[in-house]
C-alpha cells in the first residue's frame, strides 16, 4: 500500500517549524513588563527562576516558572514557561503551561498554535483541531496537514470524526490550500486517488507551485503508473532550481524507478551544497548500486574528510571493498567503525571475512579485543561471534565460546538461547531442550523460547501434543507473530490436522512471505492434494529466493525438481533444522 501519509507527516513537520514559536534562549528575560504588580513572594521566585536559567540550572528554573504560572495566571509568564518547557523538550509541562496560556488568551494565535502542535505530538488530534481553527481565523496560516501525524493510529471513530470536521471546515475556508491538501492526503491514505487528485487540482488553482501538493500528486501518479508522473514536479524545479527540499524528495523518488536519474539529481544538490555529508553519502550508495565503486569510494572518503557520517562511511567503504574482492581493504575499513548503529554490523562482516578465509584465531583475537574495549556490548559480541562460527560449520568452536561466555554470565538469556540453537544444529536435542527449558523456567512468558522448543519438538520428534501446547502458550503471548503462526501450522500438519494447518500457514505466509514458510505451506497443500496451489506458492517463493535450501529440499523430497536450479550440497529438506524465522 502506498504510504502517502508519511509524506504528510514530513511536510507537516517542516511547515510546523515555521509556525511554532522560537524557543527562548537561556539568557532571555521575561518579555515585556507585567500588566500588574507581582506579589513580592512571586517576584522573588521569578528572579530565582531567571537566575537559574542564566546559570543553565534548567530544571530548577522550569519548576519555579511552572509554580508561578499557575499562581499568577499571567499570560506573559505562561508564554515564557511554555517556551522554556519546549526548549527543554518537557512536553508534559509544555502542554500544561500552553493550556493555561490559551485559557488566559483564548484568541492568541501563537498560544493556540503551540497547544495544537503539542496535542498532535501526543496523539490527541481531535483536541488540536479547534485550536488550529483559531489560528486560521486569526492569521490565515494554520498548519492543518499536521493533523494527519499519527492518523493511522486513531480509532475508526476518531478518523471518521476528523474527516467530517475537516470537510465541514472547507465550507468556512474554501480557499485554504492547507485544508484542501489535508483532504487530498486523507483520500490518498484510503487509496481514493481520483478524489485526491480533484482536491489537488483545487490546490494548484490557488497555489500552482505548492510543494507538498506537487509531491503528493507525483506519488499518486506513480501508484497509478501514469505516463510521465514527474511532469509537474520537473516544471516546478525548472522554474525554481534552488528548491532544494523539493529536489531532494524528487531524487529520493527516482531511486525507486530510475537510479541514473536519481544520481543526476543528487549531483545537482551536491553542487549546490558541496559540504553536505548526507548528500555525499546518498550519492555513494547510488554509485555503489549502479556499480561505480570508484565514485562511491570517493564520495565516502570525502564525507569522512568532512567529519560527517563517519561510521556509516567506513562501513560502506568496507562493503565497496568487498564488492571489489579486496577483503583486506574491507577489513581495514570495517575496523574503523566505532560504537554506534553500524558497529555490530561491521563486526559481523569482520568475523565473516576472517572465518571464511580460515583465520579463526585472528577472528577470536579481534572479538576478544572488542569485548574489552566495549564491555557494555560484551554479550552481543559473544553472540555475534558464536553465530558466525555456527553458520560457518564450526559449531564445536561456537559451543566452546558460548560455554565460556555463560560461565561469566550464567543468567544471560540471549547467550543461553544462542547455545540452544547451536546444540540443535549438532543434533544434541536433549541439551538444546535443557537450555530452552531453563529459559522458560526463569521467564515463563518468553515467547521466543516457547516457540523454538515447540517447533523443534514438532519438527524433530513425535512429541506433537507437547509441542502444540508450548506453541499455544507462545501464541497467547504474541498472537500476530508470523513465526509462531508458522510453528502452529507445522505442528498441526504433523498431527494430521491439515485444514487447520493451512489456515495458520496461510496467515503466516501473508504476513511474512519467507521461503521456509512457503516450504511448509506448499507441503501441506501438496499432501492435501491441492497440487496447483502448492506449486504456485513454491514458484512465487523461488522468484524471491531461488536457492533457499529448505524450500528446494522440500520440493525434491516430494519428487518435484525445481526449475532452473542446480542441486548443491547445501540443499536439505525442510525440517532438518529449525527455520531461521522460527527462533
Q: Tell me, yes or no, whether 31 and 142 share the same domain.
A: yes
Instruction: Provide φ and ψ at 89, rounded to 5°.
Output: 60, 40
* Domain endpoint, select from 427, 443, 459: 443
Q: What's residue 68's pLDDT?
A: 79
Enclosing domain of residue 421:
338-443
Is residue 417 located within the same domain as residue 453?
no
3-state secondary structure of 326: coil
Res. 580 pLDDT band, cuts 50 70 90 = very low
Please indicate, yes or no, whether residues 411 and 510 belong to a single structural domain of this protein: no
Contact 316, 288 (CB under 8 A): yes
Same domain, 430 and 513: no
Residues 408, 500 share a domain: no
Check whether residue 43 and residue 140 sit in a common domain.
Answer: yes
In the chain, pLDDT over 90 holds for what percent of residues? 69
The SS3 assignment for 527 reads: helix
What digits encode the pLDDT tens for the residues 553-576?
999 999 998 876 544 434 333 333
CA–CA distance, 219 with 171 (Å, rounded to integer): 27
Please report which confidence band the pLDDT of residue 125 belongs to, taking 50, 70 and 90 as the band edges. confident
Among 65-69, 421-425, 451-455, 491-495, whose mean pLDDT is lowest? 65-69
DSSP 350: H
Specify whether 502 is located in the same domain as 544: yes
Q: How confident is the model at residue 39 (pLDDT cuts 50, 70, 90)?
A: low
pLDDT in tens, 407-456: 988 989 999 999 999 999 899 999 999 999 999 999 999 999 999 999 99
Quick: pLDDT tens for 530-559: 999 999 999 999 999 999 999 999 999 999
Give every CB contact of residue 69 below 8 A, 6+ residues apart in sequence.
77, 78, 81, 97, 100
Residue in 574, 569, 532, 540 with CA at minimum distance from that of residue 555: 574
Average confidence score pLDDT of the chain: 87
**9 shares its domain with 78:** yes
Task: Please state the domain count of the chain.
Answer: 3
Q: What is the pLDDT of residue 64?
A: 78
Running DSSP on this structure, what letter comes out for residue 543?
H
Per-residue pLDDT band for 42 (boundaries 50, 70, 90) equals low
SS (H, E, C) 488-521: HHHHHHHCCCHHHHHHHHHHHHHHCCCHHHHHHH
Query: In the structure grid, which three cell numbers stand for residue 202, read together?
Result: 483545487
Q: How confident is the model at residue 74 (pLDDT cuts 50, 70, 90)?
A: confident
What local confidence, expressed as pLDDT, does residue 44 receive? 61
- Quick one: pLDDT at residue 194? 94
The CATH number linked to 5 is 1.25.40.10
Could you tell me the CA-to-CA distances from 412 to 10, 319, 417, 429 in Å, in that order? 40, 32, 9, 20
Work out the average pLDDT over 12-31: 39
Q: Is residue 330 in a domain?
A: no
Residue 273 falls within a domain, yes or no? no
Planar angle of CA 321, 326, 329, nearest 5 degrees: 65
- The C-alpha torsion from 356 through 360 and 366 to 368, rounded to 10°, is 140
- CA–CA dist 120, 124 (Å, integer): 5
User: Is 93 in the same domain as 81?
Assistant: yes
pLDDT in tens, 263-288: 999 999 999 999 999 999 999 999 99
45 plus 99 within the same structural domain: yes
Residue by residue, DSSP assigns 110-165 as HHHHHHHHHHHHTT-HHHHHHHHHHHHHHHS---GGGGGTTGGGS-HHHHHHHHHH
Q: Helix, strand, or coil here: 394? A: coil
Query: What is the model's pTM?
Result: 0.72
Least confident window among 40-49, 100-109, 172-181, 188-197: 40-49
Residue-level pLDDT at 449: 96
Lowest mean pLDDT of 34-43, 264-273, 323-332, 345-354, name the range: 34-43
Last residue of one domain, picked from the residues 397, 422, 443: 443
Do 388 and 528 belong together in one domain?
Answer: no
Higher pLDDT, 315 or 32: 315
Per DSSP, helices labelled H in 357-446 are 360-373, 378-391, 395-408, 413-425, 429-442
Closest by CA position to 320, among listed 281, 357, 267, 354: 281
The pLDDT confidence band at residue 577, using thresholds 50, 70 and 90, is very low
Average pLDDT over residues 352-363: 95
Confidence band of 61 (pLDDT split at 50, 70, 90):
confident
**Integer angstrom CA distances of residue 231 from 201, 217, 227, 258, 477:** 14, 10, 9, 15, 50
Q: 413-425 vs 378-391: helix axis angle to the nearest 10?
A: 10
Q: Are residues 51 and 139 in the same domain?
A: yes
pLDDT over 60 at 215, yes or no: yes
Amino acid at each position: 500500500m502506498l504510504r502517502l501519509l508519511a509524506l504528510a507527516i514530513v511536510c507537516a513537520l517542516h511547515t510546523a517549524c515555521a509556525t511554532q514559536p522560537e524557543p527562548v534562549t537561556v539568557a532571555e528575560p521575561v518579555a515585556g513588563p507585567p500588566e500588574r504588580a507581582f506579589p513580592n513572594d512571586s517576584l522573588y521566585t521569578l528572579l530565582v527562576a531567571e537566575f537559574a536559567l542564566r546559570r543553565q540550572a534548567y530544571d530548577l528554573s522550569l519548576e519555579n516558572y511552572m509554580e508561578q504560572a499557575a499562581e499568577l495566571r499571567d499570560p506573559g509568564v505562561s508564554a515564557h514557561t511554555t517556551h522554556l518547557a519546549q526548549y527543554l523538550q518537557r512536553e508534559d509541562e509544555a502542554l500544561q503551561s500552553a493550556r493555561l496560556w490559551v485559557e488566559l488568551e483564548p484568541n492568541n494565535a501563537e498560544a493556540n498554535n503551540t497547544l495544537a502542535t503539542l496535542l498532535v505530538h501526543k496523539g490527541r488530534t481531535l483536541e488540536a483541531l479547534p485550536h488550529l481553527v483559531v489560528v486560521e481565523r486569526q492569521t490565515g496560516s494554520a498548519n492543518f496537514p499536521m493533523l494527519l501525524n499519527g492518523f493511522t493510529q486513531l480509532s475508526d471513530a476518531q478518523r471518521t470524526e476528523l474527516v467530517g470536521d475537516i470537510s465541514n471546515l472547507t465550507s468556512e475556508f474554501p480557499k485554504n490550500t492547507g485544508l484542501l491538501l489535508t483532504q487530498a492526503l486523507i483520500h490518498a491514505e484510503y487509496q481514493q486517488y481520483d478524489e485526491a487528485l480533484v482536491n489537488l487540482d483545487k490546490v494548484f488553482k490557488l497555489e500552482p507551485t505548492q510543494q507538498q501538493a506537487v509531491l503528493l500528486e507525483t506519488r499518486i501518479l506513480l501508484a497509478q503508473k501514469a505516463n510521465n508522473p514527474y511532469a509537474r514536479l520537473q516544471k516546478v524545479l525548472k522554474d525554481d532550481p534552488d528548491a532544494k527540499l523539493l529536489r531532494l524528495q524528487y531524487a529520493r523518488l527516482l531511486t525507486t524507478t530510475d537510479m541514473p536519474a536519481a544520481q543526476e539529481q543528487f549531483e545537482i544538490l551536491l553542487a549546490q551544497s558541496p559540504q553536505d555529508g548526507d548528500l555525499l553519502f546518498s550519492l555513494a550508495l547510488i554509485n555503489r548500486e549502479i556499480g561505480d565503486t570508484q565514485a562511491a569510494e570517493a564520495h565516502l572518503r570525502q564525507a569522512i574528510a568532512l567529519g560527517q557520517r563517519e561510521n556509516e562511511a567506513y562501513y560502506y567503504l568496507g562493503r565497496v571493498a568487498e564488492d571489489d574482492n579486496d577483503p583486506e581493504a574491507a577489513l581495514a575499513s570495517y575496523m574503523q567503525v566505532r560504537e554506534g548503529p553500524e558497529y555490530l554490523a561491521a563486526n559481523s562482516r569482520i568475523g565473516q571475512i576472517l572465518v571464511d578465509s580460515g583465520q579463526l584465531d585472528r577472528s577470536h583475537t579481534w572479538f576478544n579485543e572488542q569485548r574489552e574495549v566495549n564491555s557494555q556490548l560484551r554479550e552481543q559480541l559473544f553472540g555475534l561471534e558464536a553465530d558466525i562460527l555456527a553458520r560457518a560449520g564450526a559449531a564445536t568452536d561456537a559451543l566452546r565460546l558460548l560455554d565460556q561466555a555463560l560461565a561469566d554470565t550464567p543468567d544471560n538469556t540471549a547467550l543461553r538461547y544462542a547455545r540452544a540453537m547451536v546444540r540443535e544444529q549438532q543434533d544434541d536435542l536433549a541439551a538444546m531442550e535443557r537450555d530452552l527449558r531453563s529459559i522458560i523456567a526463569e521467564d515463563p512468558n518468553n515467547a521466543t523460547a516457547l516457540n523454538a522448543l515447540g517447533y523443534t519438538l514438532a519438527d524433530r520428534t513425535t512429541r506433537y501434543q507437547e509441542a502444540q501446547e508450548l506453541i499455544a502458550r507462545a501464541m497467547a503471548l504474541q498472537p500476530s507473530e508470523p513465526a509462531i503462526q508458522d510453528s502452529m501450522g507445522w505442528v498441526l500438519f504433523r498431527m494430521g490436522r491439515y485444514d487447520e494447518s493451512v489456515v495458520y500457514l496461510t496467515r503466516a505466509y501473508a504476513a511474512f512471505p519467507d521461503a521456509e514458510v512457503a516450504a511448509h505451506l506448499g507441503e501441506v497443500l501438496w499432501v492435501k492434494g491441492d497440487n496447483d496451489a502448492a506449486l504456485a506458492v513454491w514458484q512465487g517463493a523461488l522468484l524471491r529466493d531461488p536457492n533457499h535450501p529448505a524450500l528446494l529440499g522440500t520440493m525434491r523430497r516430494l519428487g518435484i525438481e525445481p526449475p532452473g536450479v542446480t542441486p548443491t550440497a547445501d540443499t536439505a529438506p525442510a525440517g532438518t533444522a529449525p527455520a531461521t524465522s522460527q527462533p
